[in-house]
């Protein structure tokens, strides 16, 4: 899997979790209502989804520098280069798109 593909999968996951949170909870967590079990469940669910989104964004940031931020030039030999099913050339050594 190329880094680009991994990032697009992560983007889909982030979007999915964001949509679920908006459908079930809304943009902000509801204020706590003592003794209300549904409220407690909503708050727990919302905070779980927010944590998942933060983790996925953090993983995405870790993947980005390889290609976009530091502009590392692949120094692996040509024999390590391959083409993915979409025709994108990439390095099997460092996963950078070429």
Binding site for Zn ion (CB under 5 A): 74, 76, 91, 93-94
Output the CA torsion sign for 44, 45, 47, 52. Answer: positive
**Of 23 and 75, CB closest to Zn ion:** 75
- Closer CB to Zn ion, residue 56 or residue 91? 91
CB of 82 to Zn ion, least distance (A): 11
Nearer to Zn ion, 13 or 74 (CB): 74
Q: Is 83 helix (H, G, I), strand (E, B) or coil?
A: strand
Residues in a beta bridge with 90: 82, 97
Comparing CB distances to Zn ion, the nearer of 37 and 73 is 73
> For residue 11, what are the contacts with CB-CB under 8 A and spacing of at least 6?
60
CB of 90 to Zn ion, least distance (A): 8
Least distance between Zn ion and beta carbon 24 (Å): 42
83, two tokens? 């083409």
In the complex, the smallest distance separating the C-beta of residue 93 from Zn ion, rounded to whole angstroms, is 4
């Amino acid at each position: 899997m190329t880094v680009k593909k991994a990032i697009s999968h992560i983007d889909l996951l982030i979007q999915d979790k964001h949509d679920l949170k908006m459908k079930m909870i809304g943009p902000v967590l509801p204020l706590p209502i003592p003794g209300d079990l549904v409220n407690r469940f909503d708050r727990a669910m919302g905070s779980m989804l927010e944590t998942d989104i933060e983790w996925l964004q953090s993983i995405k940031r870790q993947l980005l520098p390889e290609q976009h931020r530091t502009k590392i030039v692949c120094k692996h030999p040509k024999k390590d280069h391959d083409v993915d099913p979409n025709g994108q050339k990439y390095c099997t050594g460092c996963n950078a798109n070429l």
